[in-house]
Amino acid sequence: MELPIAVEHWQNGDAIFVDIRDPQSFAAGHISGSQHLDNSNLPQFLSSVDKNQKVIVVCYHGISSQGAADYIAGNGFTDVHSMDGGYTAWSMSFPEHTERN
Protein backbone atom coordinates (compact mmCIF):
# COMPACT_ATOMS: atom_id res chain seq x y z
CA MET A 1 0.00 0.00 0.00
CA GLU A 2 1.36 3.39 -0.95
CA LEU A 3 2.23 5.72 1.91
CA PRO A 4 -0.35 8.46 1.09
CA ILE A 5 -3.14 5.86 1.10
CA ALA A 6 -1.88 4.36 4.36
CA VAL A 7 -1.87 7.76 6.07
CA GLU A 8 -5.46 8.32 4.92
CA HIS A 9 -6.47 5.09 6.64
CA TRP A 10 -4.52 6.16 9.74
CA GLN A 11 -6.27 9.54 9.77
CA ASN A 12 -9.69 7.90 9.27
CA GLY A 13 -8.97 5.34 12.00
CA ASP A 14 -10.28 2.56 9.80
CA ALA A 15 -7.22 0.30 9.88
CA ILE A 16 -5.08 -1.48 12.44
CA PHE A 17 -1.38 -0.73 12.00
CA VAL A 18 0.90 -3.54 13.16
CA ASP A 19 4.65 -3.05 13.39
CA ILE A 20 6.77 -6.19 13.00
CA ARG A 21 10.16 -4.61 13.68
CA ASP A 22 12.16 -5.82 16.67
CA PRO A 23 10.93 -4.69 20.12
CA GLN A 24 13.82 -2.27 20.65
CA SER A 25 13.15 -0.48 17.36
CA PHE A 26 9.43 -0.30 18.10
CA ALA A 27 10.16 1.10 21.57
CA ALA A 28 12.50 3.73 20.09
CA GLY A 29 9.84 4.96 17.67
CA HIS A 30 6.67 3.85 15.91
CA ILE A 31 3.57 5.08 14.13
CA SER A 32 1.23 6.64 16.67
CA GLY A 33 -1.41 4.11 17.66
CA SER A 34 0.30 1.15 16.03
CA GLN A 35 0.82 -2.08 17.91
CA HIS A 36 3.89 -4.24 18.01
CA LEU A 37 3.40 -7.71 16.57
CA ASP A 38 5.85 -10.58 16.95
CA ASN A 39 5.79 -14.33 17.51
CA SER A 40 4.84 -13.91 21.17
CA ASN A 41 1.57 -12.07 20.54
CA LEU A 42 0.76 -13.22 16.99
CA PRO A 43 -1.58 -16.07 18.03
CA GLN A 44 -3.61 -13.71 20.22
CA PHE A 45 -3.78 -11.14 17.40
CA LEU A 46 -4.94 -13.74 14.89
CA SER A 47 -7.66 -15.02 17.21
CA SER A 48 -8.91 -11.72 18.63
CA VAL A 49 -9.03 -9.27 15.72
CA ASP A 50 -11.99 -9.14 13.31
CA LYS A 51 -10.77 -10.87 10.16
CA ASN A 52 -12.58 -8.27 8.02
CA GLN A 53 -10.73 -5.36 9.67
CA LYS A 54 -8.20 -3.61 7.42
CA VAL A 55 -4.68 -4.45 8.64
CA ILE A 56 -1.61 -2.52 7.51
CA VAL A 57 1.70 -4.22 8.28
CA VAL A 58 4.78 -2.06 8.82
CA CYS A 59 8.46 -3.03 8.94
CA TYR A 60 11.64 -0.97 8.40
CA HIS A 61 11.40 -0.37 4.63
CA GLY A 62 8.34 -2.27 3.40
CA ILE A 63 10.00 -5.53 2.40
CA SER A 64 9.65 -7.90 5.39
CA SER A 65 6.09 -6.69 5.90
CA GLN A 66 5.08 -8.23 2.57
CA GLY A 67 5.68 -11.75 3.87
CA ALA A 68 4.02 -10.95 7.18
CA ALA A 69 0.98 -9.53 5.39
CA ASP A 70 0.75 -12.70 3.28
CA TYR A 71 0.93 -14.81 6.45
CA ILE A 72 -1.84 -12.83 8.15
CA ALA A 73 -3.99 -13.02 5.01
CA GLY A 74 -3.34 -16.76 4.90
CA ASN A 75 -4.93 -16.96 8.35
CA GLY A 76 -8.29 -15.76 7.08
CA PHE A 77 -7.89 -11.99 7.13
CA THR A 78 -9.54 -10.42 4.09
CA ASP A 79 -7.98 -6.92 3.88
CA VAL A 80 -4.25 -7.01 4.68
CA HIS A 81 -1.59 -4.73 3.20
CA SER A 82 2.14 -4.12 3.46
CA MET A 83 3.01 -0.42 3.68
CA ASP A 84 5.47 0.72 1.03
CA GLY A 85 8.56 2.37 2.50
CA GLY A 86 7.86 1.09 6.01
CA TYR A 87 8.46 2.98 9.22
CA THR A 88 11.44 4.78 7.69
CA ALA A 89 9.29 6.47 5.03
CA TRP A 90 6.52 7.22 7.53
CA SER A 91 8.83 8.80 10.12
CA MET A 92 10.45 11.01 7.47
CA SER A 93 7.13 12.05 5.89
CA PHE A 94 4.96 12.30 8.99
CA PRO A 95 7.15 12.94 12.05
CA GLU A 96 4.19 14.54 13.80
CA HIS A 97 2.42 11.16 13.70
CA THR A 98 5.38 9.26 15.09
CA GLU A 99 5.89 8.37 18.74
CA ARG A 100 9.55 8.45 19.80
CA ASN A 101 11.23 7.61 23.08
| Residue 101: per-residue pLDDT | 78
State pLDDT tens for residues 21-63: 999 999 999 999 999 999 999 999 999 999 999 999 999 999 9
DSSP calls for 11-64: HHT-EEEEE-S-HHHHHHEEETT-EE--TTTHHHHHHHS-TTSEEEEE-SSSSH
CATH number at residue 85: 3.40.250.10
Residue 25 domain flag: yes
Residue 101 domain flag: no
Distances (CA, A) of 4 to 48, 66, 76, 80: 28, 18, 26, 16
State pLDDT tens for residues 67-97: 999 999 999 999 999 999 999 999 999 999 9
Give the number of domains in the chain: 1
Of the candidates 59, 72, 80, 89, the residue annotated as catalytic is 59
Q: Which domain holds residue 68?
A: 3-96
Mean pLDDT across the chain? 97
> In residues, how long is the chain?
101
Residue 13 domain flag: yes
Residue 36 domain flag: yes
Active site residue 59: yes
